[in-house]
A and B are shown apart, each in its own frame.
Chain A
Amino acid sequence: MNVFLQLVKITGSSVEPSVDEKKRSKAFGVVMGILIMLLIFIPVAFFVGFMVYALTNGLVNLGGEDSVSAGLSLMLHIVALFSVVFGFSVVMSVFYFSSDLNYLLPLPISPMKIIGAKLASTMLSENVMECILVFSALVGFMIGYGFDPPAGGGINAVSFIAAVFGVVTFPVVPISYCAVICLIVMYFSKFLKNKDRVSKLTAFSTIAILIVLVVCLNLSNGFDTNVFVNQLMNNELRIVNVLDKIFFNVPLLSHAMAGSIVSLLLYIVVNAASVGIVLLLASKLYFPAVIALGGGEGAASTKEESGEKLDRQLKQSSPLMTYFKKELKILFRTPAYMSNCIGINLIWPIFIYLFFILQKQSNFLGDTIDKLQTADEETVLYATLLVFGSSVILTALNCLASSAVTREGRHFEVMKYMPVDIMTQLNSKALVSIVISGIGLVIYIVTAFTIIHIDFRLTIYCVLLSVLAVIYSTYLGIYIDTINPKLIWEDEVNALRGNYHVFYNMAMELILTAVVCALSIGLYKLGFLPVFFIQTVIMLIAAYLSFQFYLMCKTKGVKNIENIEM
């Protein structure tokens, strides 16, 4: 096989399940794959497609032939932005921190080839969700624009060719951006000489970029659909104009979709040029930075320690507490876990702020708060369901539970030879997820409810409900991870990214949350039952689910672990 293809296979192999894992999980994987498709991918794709369709249709009806693809551009910009924000950590990890470098660097392979292969494998790993999003946006545009719109034009053969190119090559420019920035930053940050410091810096920079982006959205006037479409048509939306200059591939693809063959050719040239620039930069900057990071783990201290200090440090705790402390230390000290499992809990206020500025025009939040303060029954019910749903989903999103066993990796056997029963070990992992997710949620709920002066009893109820929801979501996540943990991984980022259990867990949580919401709203609307009664039912359901999933971990989960042989 060609050296380049071999390299793509090697550098991408760590995100693929091993043969044994594939065998273990065949039936389970098929069922969960269908659920994920139905509950996550299809709704998201449908939403994206519908948004682009609605915007394009609005622009066509307003007669703006020149700006008919503005809605598509906006959606593609959002996809590109997310690719860049989430692509940074992947590119950094694949380029600079993957363990395959120890084997690749001594081989007589040029930096250009290594980076080319790593770039290709990063794009392949990024491509699944992005393909779905871009595909649905393009379909939404094609339906919205049509073959024969009233103002002339319409999609043609070029649109179909552009659609194929677009779906396949869309990540090229965003990921190339990440690659170029990483190559330059890493070259000039050689002095850091420590992988952990660089990783932490990347994580903080990503959060900072996200904050700056949200603040720069400059939506202080709120969101009004009519104003928004008019701004789009007249090219007055500042953020889109700025993004057009940053992601110059997007307007080219959008125009190509509207039938411009020149734009299509330029789109292809731009993609090829992006890869060319990355490879050219790599040939100059890659090896010096990688080699500087070579001794990244530092050296053990040689300073003489006093006997008293050692005596102070050697203290006795219970097995549960010692496992709990061990898990916490590893999570906080491993950059990939720190950013993906701990740091992610800190970014939700940014999205709440985004929601706050988006709804300013309609004052939806203000009206809801007023209703909550006067204890309007329906609003209280929806607030209860929101607390329940968000507690469950946010716990699932930080993947502390659904990667609990996977994180053990190659030293999974330690779980087996320690004289501590498996359930105690699983409980310690559960405790970590409950404490980290729970503390974050309780702080958010108490802060928000105190600021908006919500009744003390409702606050206490929501805190208790949130804690129970976190417990049930945690034990469900851990149980799912015991079925088929991904124990062979090259680095911690791959332990999380190559782990489909986060999706499986999310799919299960979404089903259960949907059932609870449907049941509660049904009881309220059709059963005419008082909200207090329904709140009690929701609390009981959360308690029941927590207990049931705890029992599942204790029986089947423990069995699953005992049956795993490495």
Chain B
Amino acid sequence: MIEFKGVSKTYNGKVKALDNLNFSVGDGELVGFIGPNGSGKTTTIKLLCGVLKPDKGSVVVNGFDVNKEPLQAKASIGYIADNPDVFLRLKGVEFLNFIGDVYNTPADERKKTVSELAERFELTSALDSQILSYSHGMRQKLMVIAALMHKPKVWILDEPMTGLDPKSSFELKALMREHTKAGNSVFFSTHVLEVAEKLCDKVVIIKKGHKLYDGTLAELEKRNKDKNLEDIFLELTNKK
């Protein structure tokens, strides 16, 4: 589970990216994180993963404060960044080994996960090639496999659907569902409202670092009768 309590973040002492943001993601919950460009989604995700430090507030992942017990917190996260262009000179299988070692995943467990997921994403034949030769979608699929190898309690994804073909996109959504069904938490940012609509138990909508909405989609639609999610989103984010 994730607890994001009263977090503020300013860049260079000038640009306020987040202002007293609060939300939580419970065990078994799949939460979509929605907001316009520059609203603070990636900053929030980087704070969750320990890449950035908050100016104020606390970020707790799976019971560990990300800033006080960073290694334990990070070990319980599976993170997929918005850019999958990482260590391009490594072969796919070498990258998976690297991630497996870093997260201390036993060899048997990684073999099982890798062969199963590589099969699902049709990536097995490419694993022996350098990541440099992969398409964007293939790199993204490799990141998904890497993030799930250590069976993280919390899975965080930044714009995960970008560049995926329809089948892979379907598989990823199915995996996210399976992950939450097993009692884990999934938190992902997206611009694709349909994905959030079909997939999420809950959404958090932010704009300019402020939370606009945090709750279930059913509740949101109940409050805005006869409007689809797109209209609601535009109405919310266009308000001053």
| Interface residues, chain A, with chain B CB atoms under 8 Å away | 20, 297-305, 307, 309-311, 313-319, 321-323, 325-326, 329-330, 333-334, 410-411, 413-414, 416-421, 562, 565
Contact = CB atoms under 8 A, between A and B. Distances in A.
B221 interface: no
B236 interface: no
A315 B90 contact: no
Given A319-B102, A414-B86, A310 B79 contact: no
B47 to A, nearest CB: 11
Contact of A329 (B92, B94, B101, B126): B94
Contacts of B103: 419
Contact of A419 (B74, B96, B106): B74
Given A298-B133, A419-B74, A310 B51 contact: no
A297 B133 contact: yes
Contacts of A311: 111, 115
Contacts of B46: 413
A421 B100 contact: no
Contact of B107 (A307, A315, A334): A315
24 contacts: A20-B12, A298-B132, A300-B130, A301-B129, A302-B126, A303-B125, A304-B124, A310-B118, A311-B115, A314-B93, A314-B96, A314-B110, A314-B111, A316-B105, A318-B101, A319-B102, A319-B104, A321-B101, A329-B89, A330-B90, A414-B86, A416-B51, A417-B81, A565-B52
Nearest to B96: A314
B127 A417 contact: no
A341 B114 CA distance: 34
A301 B128 contact: yes
A304 B97 CA distance: 20
A314 B97 contact: yes
Contacts of A323: 98, 102
Closest 9 CB pairs of A and B: A322-B101, A419-B74, A300-B126, A419-B75, A300-B129, A333-B89, A417-B49, A300-B133, A416-B51
B101 A418 contact: no
Given A418-B102, A419-B103, A310 B114 contact: yes
Interface residues of B, number: 53
B31 to A, nearest CB: 19
A411 B85 contact: yes
Contacts, number: 125
Contacts of B59: none
A297 B132 contact: yes
Given A314-B107, A417-B74, A329 B102 contact: no
A420 B103 CA distance: 8
A565 B102 contact: no
A329 B85 CA distance: 16
B128 A299 contact: no
A351 to B, nearest CB: 30
Given A297-B133, A562-B53, 9 more contacts: A302-B125, A307-B115, A316-B100, A322-B101, A329-B94, A333-B89, A411-B83, A417-B50, A417-B79
Contacts of B93: 310, 313-314
Contacts of B107: 314-316
Contacts of B86: 411, 414
A421 B70 CA distance: 9
A302 B126 CA distance: 6
A316 B124 contact: no
B138 interface: yes
B134 interface: yes
B164 to A, nearest CB: 16
A454 B86 CA distance: 49
Nearest to A301: B129
A488 to B, nearest CB: 14
A20 B15 CA distance: 14
B129 A319 contact: no
A311 B107 CA distance: 9
B49 A310 contact: no
Contacts of B106: 316
Contact of A317 (B71, B72, B101, B111): B101
Contact of B125 (A301, A330, A416, A418): A301
B88 to A, nearest CB: 8
A460 to B, nearest CB: 35
Contacts of A565: 11, 52-53
A359 to B, nearest CB: 42
A137 B12 CA distance: 45
B120 to A, nearest CB: 14
A411 B97 contact: no
A419 B102 contact: yes
B87 interface: yes
A319 B102 CA distance: 5
Nearest to A492: B89
Contacts of A309: 128
Contacts of B85: 410-411
Contacts of A20: 12
Interface in B35-53: 46, 49-53
Best-surrounded residue of A301, A314, A416 (most CB of chain B within 10 A): A314
Nearest to A302: B125
Contacts of A419: 70-72, 74-75, 102-103
